[in-house]
Amino acid sequence: MKILITGVSGQVGHALQQQLGHSYQLTTPGRTDLDLSRPDQIRDYVFATRPDLIINPAAYTAVDKAESEPEIAHAVNALAPAALAATARELGIGLIHYSTDYVFDGSLRNAEGGLQAYQENHATNPLNVYGRTKLAGEQAIITSGCQYLIFRTSWVYSRFGKNFLLTMLRLANERDELRVVNDQWGAPTSSQTISDATTAIVDQLALASNPQVWWQQHQGIYHLTTTGHTSWHGFTGEILHQAALHGLLSKTAPVLHGIPATEYPTPAIRPVNSCLDTTNIRQRFGITLPNWQHALATCLS
């Protein structure tokens, strides 16, 4: 199977390239080969490379900057997936795409007023430009008529790139105190967890006796994160704890304080509750997902 993967310089794209490259023939266009802010180029590029499957982890992911660059964010996160989906439909191939917890407004609560994880069919209501453009991308794929899988994930980190884990490790080695938001909740998810699950699912597709039937049976939106949940403050506490165990701190760990999000204002509003229910992806594809502490330990080791 020949797979086109976008965004391989990013966290998820890089992990996918490393893992899927062992078993599949990959085409991995960078921004200079295929600029996704120019969706008009997409059809010709895909037709020239003739993949059997498209995987699209590329995205405009600068959540705060998107507030002042809505047109570019919309082009990359909505128009490009729309063009990829239209091309996939024309070629009769499938599209695997990634989306975000930020399509929700984070207000979901259970009957007791506690946190409830979002299921795939809960109502969306993005609070920021990034979330709105990602939701528009989902909707464009669904209405295109192509065969698709959309994996919504959350709080992505990896051992390289720009992410919360690496920021906290840097700050832990620079500062004596850290103040981190303790009233936003979600599942920190390593790019490796996303790549492991995606690879297991691509392997199932590759082994399917009738790929068209496989797509009919599996197509849809799925939530793909680690299991369990924490706050940014809780995540930081675990990072400091595990980093000390792995000898990654050059000094005594800083004192960690929890603060409300109101004390850390950002251009983009974030949802309070980013927890996603992963039951469907685990049951439908028979895969297991690690809890967030275990995935962090794997990444740090």
- Residues binding ligand NAP (CB under 6 A): 7, 9-13, 31, 35-37, 57-61, 76, 98, 100-101, 134, 153-156, 161
What's the rounded Cα separation, in Å, for the pair 281 and 224? 7
7, 59 in Cβ contact below 8 A?
yes
Closer of 14 and 254 to ligand NAP (Cβ): 14
What's the angle, vertex CA 60, arms to CA 58 and CA 63, rounded to 5?
A: 135
Cβ-based nearer residue to ligand NAP, 10 or 237:
10
Between residues 37 and 280, which has the closer beta carbon with respect to ligand NAP? Answer: 37
Minimum gap (Å) between residue 156 Cβ and ligand NAP:
3
Residue 130 a catalytic site member: yes
What is the closest distance, in whole angstroms, from the C-beta atom of residue 112 to ligand NAP in the complex? 28
- ∠ CA 296-276-284, nearest 5°, is 95
> Nearest to ligand NAP by Cβ — which residue?
10
Residues 6+ apart with CB under 8 A from 1: 24, 25, 52, 53, 202, 205, 206
**Least distance CB 75 / ligand NAP (angstroms):** 7
What residue ranges in 103-160 does DSSP mark as E strands? Answer: 147-153, 156-157
Minimal distance, residue 176 CB to ligand NAP, in Å: 27
Distance CA 202, CA 220 (A): 15
Query: Smaller CB distance to ligand NAP: residue 161 or 249?
Result: 161
Phi/psi at 42 (5° precision): -70, -45
List the catalytic residue out of 98, 102, 130, 148: 130
**From CA 152, how far away is CA 130, in angstroms rounded?**
14
Residues labelled catalytic = 130
